[in-house]
């Protein structure tokens, strides 16, 4: 009986780890490391703000919880219709923060070095 419970525990743990690796669960915090300075993005916090997944993951269909990530389409330079990663992130991240600020709502940072933290030398 006890042995059975342990193996169920191991099985559940194994399945959870597969889900994590396959990206079904997003990391709580995602870090970007552009040369201009590291950006720390609290993904979970933004989800908790009740921002629709599709506001950012604009190519996913309603209800989808995984799919292609920004960098797979938005590269260092604009390609085809897809704007560069820098423009895409600035437009989304900084854009939303700026709009919220204008509307006097709680907003994220809009200043360059509030988002980009330079590595201390
Ligand atoms: C405020 C914007 C924003 C919102 C809202 C958002 N995401 Fe994300 N998400 C991102 C960014 C940015 C990345 C990193 C993409 C990259 O590195 O190219 C990401 C990455 C992910 C990943 C990849 C796994 C990982 O940890 O790297 C998953 C899965 C994901 N998001 C799911 C969701 C789901 C599900 C929702 C809605 C409940 C959601 N996201 C809402 C911006 C957002
Ligand atoms: C499957 C490819 C693909 C993925 C994945 C993708 N994009 Fe895009 N994105 C595009 C294309 C193509 C355009 C230009 C055409 C359009 O607006 O749909 C675009 C446009 C944009 C724009 C400009 C919209 C406007 O109003 O001008 C922003 C901002 C943007 N993407 C941000 C993001 C972010 C942030 C992510 C990840 C959370 C992401 N994109 C993921 C392909 C993609
Ligand atoms: C649709 C709106 C929206 C988008 C898109 C968005 N944010 Fe935010 N962000 C917010 C709001 C609202 C807050 C303020 C939360 C609070 O303090 O209550 C915030 C807070 C933050 C903070 C400071 C709070 C913290 O503890 O982390 C950072 C840093 C941040 N955002 C980075 C980003 C980055 C990077 C992106 C793009 C990948 C992004 N945000 C996209 C709305 C947005
Ligand atoms: C809300 C957060 C935020 C703010 C504010 C912000 N950035 Fe960014 N920036 C990002 C993110 C996220 C990226 C994309 C990183 C990546 O592609 O990995 C980025 C990318 C860049 C890049 C490209 C770096 C590279 O090596 O390719 C430069 C340069 C840059 N930002 C400069 C600025 C400047 C200058 C300002 C102020 C006018 C600014 N950023 C404000 C979040 C922000």
Q: Which residues constitute the domain of residue 113?
A: 26-117
pLDDT at 27: 86
Q: Is the CB of 71 under 6 A from ligand 2?
A: no
Q: Is the CB of 26 under 6 A from ligand 1?
A: yes
Among all chains, which residue has been given the structure tokens 């870090």? 31
Residue 13 domain-assigned? no
Residue 51 domain-assigned? yes
The model scores a pTM over 0.95: no
Domains identified in the chain, total number: 1
Residue burial 98-107, b: 16+ Cβ < 10 Å; e: rest: eeeeeeeeee
DSSP 92: I
Ligand 1 atom nearest the C-alpha of 89 is: 12
Average pLDDT over residues 89-100: 98
Residue with the nearest Cα to atom 22 of ligand 2?
88
Q: How confident is the model at residue 21 (pLDDT cuts 50, 70, 90)?
A: very low
CATH number for the domain spanning 76: value is 3.90.10.10
pLDDT in tens, 63-83: 999 999 999 999 999 999 999
Residues in CB range of 78: below 8 A, 6 or more apart: 84, 87
Residue 75 domain-assigned? yes
Whether the per-residue pLDDT at 22 is higher than 60: the answer is no
């Amino acid at each position: 009986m006890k042995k059975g419970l342990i193996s169920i525990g191991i099985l559940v743990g194994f399945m959870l780890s597969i889900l994590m690796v396959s990206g079904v669960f997003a990391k709580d915090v995602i870090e970007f490391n552009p040369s201009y300075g590291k950006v720390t993005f609290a993904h979970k916090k933004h989800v908790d703000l009740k921002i629709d997944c599709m506001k950012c993951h604009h190519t996913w269909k309603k209800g989808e919880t995984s799919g292609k990530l920004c960098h797979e389409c938005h590269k260092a330079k604009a390609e085809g219709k897809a704007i560069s990663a820098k423009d895409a992130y600035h437009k989304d991240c900084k854009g939303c923060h700026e709009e919220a600020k204008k509307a006097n709502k709680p907003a994220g940072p809009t200043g360059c070095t509030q988002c980009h933290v330079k590595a201390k030398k």
